[in-house]
Amino acid sequence: MVRIPEVKLSSGGKPMPRIGVGTAVFPFASSEAMRAAILRSIELGYRHFDTAAIYQSEEPLGAAIADALRAGAIRSRDELFITSKLWCSDAHPHLVLPALQKTLRNLQLEYLDLYLVHWPVSTRPGKYVLPPAKEDLLPIDMSAVWRAMEECHALGLTRSIGVSNFSSKKLETLLSIAKIPPAVNQVEVNPLWQQRKLREFCVAKGIQVCAYSPLGAKGTHWGQNWVMDCGVLKDIAAAKGKTLAQICLRWVYEQGDCVLVKSFNEERMVENLDILDWELSEEEKHEIGQIPQRKGFAGLDFVSDDAPYKSTAELWDGEI
Spatial distance between the Cα atoms of 212 and 50, rounded to a whole number of angstroms: 10
Question: Is the CB of residue 138 less than 8 Å from the CB of residue 59?
Answer: no
Exactly one of 46, 55, 111, 309 is catalytic; which is it?
55
- Asked if 121 and 153 touch (Cβ cutoff 8 Å), the reply is no
Q: Could you give the CA distance from residue 37 to residue 50 in angstroms, rounded to a whole number?
A: 14
For the beta carbon of residue 281, count every other beta carbon within 10 angstroms: 11
Q: Can 212 be counted among the known catalytic residues? A: no
Angle, CA 207 vertex, CA 204 and CA 212 arms, to 5°: 120
Q: Which residues of 159-192 are buried (b: 16+ CB within 10 A; e: fewer)?
A: bbbbbbbbbbebbebbeeebebbbbbbbbbbbbb
How far is the C-alpha of 128 from the C-alpha of 116, rounded, in Å?
A: 16
> Active-site residues: which are they?
55
